[in-house]
Amino acid sequence: MTSPVTVRPCAAEDVAVIAATEPPGASVAERLFARQESGELIYLVAWVGDVPVGHGALTLAPPRELRHLHVVEQHRGRGVGSAIVRAAEEASVDAGTLSIGVALDNPDARRLYERLGFRGTGELTTTTYTYVDDDGEHEATETDERLVKQLAGADVGPG
């Protein structure tokens, strides 16, 4: 029987556990936790038992956006991504909407987000970034479409 997925904000004691699963030099957990500590975002981490299996970064400045959504490959297709998105939605109800960018060449992620109620806006953003994997540092360019979801229970009247 598979343990359930739980998602919670990263705690200080989690950083070393998460970092141990990253390629050397990636420092993703450290960077995202530091941004959480500065009040910029909520670093949501998915766990199966005591094993980190995915994460996302929920920005707190408007508009709320879930960024850097990642699920460990062997845990994909098991509800981890959905659980992270649901946690981001719960933390964003007060904002009224939640957005997420999806790469144009990632139809699997787009299907997930659309199944969860996100709709395309036609707004495209192209970003060049560096990342570290087991083969070292790389540069990539990605074009994303912004998808948005109106959150139930949100106060979206005139403000």
Joined together, the tokens standing for residue 92 give 């964003």
Name residues whose C-beta falls within 8 Å of residue 88's C-beta, 6 or more positions apart in sequence.
Answer: 42, 44, 56, 58, 64, 66, 98
**Which pLDDT tens digit goes with each residue over 4-52?**
999 999 999 999 999 999 988 889 999 999 999 999 999 999 999 999 9
Q: How far apart are CA 33 and CA 82, in angstroms?
A: 21
Q: How far apart are CA 63 and CA 87, in angstroms?
A: 17
Cβ-count burial of 79 within 10 angstroms (0-12 exposed, 13-18 middle, 19+ buried)? middle
**Which pLDDT tens digit goes with each residue over 71-92?**
999 999 999 999 999 999 999 9
- Binning pLDDT at 50, 70 and 90, where does residue 153 land? low
Least confident of 23-27, 59-63, 92-96: 23-27
Joined together, the tokens standing for residue 12 give 């200080």
Domain extents for the chain? 5-150
* CATH number for the domain formed by residue range(s) 5-150: 3.40.630.30
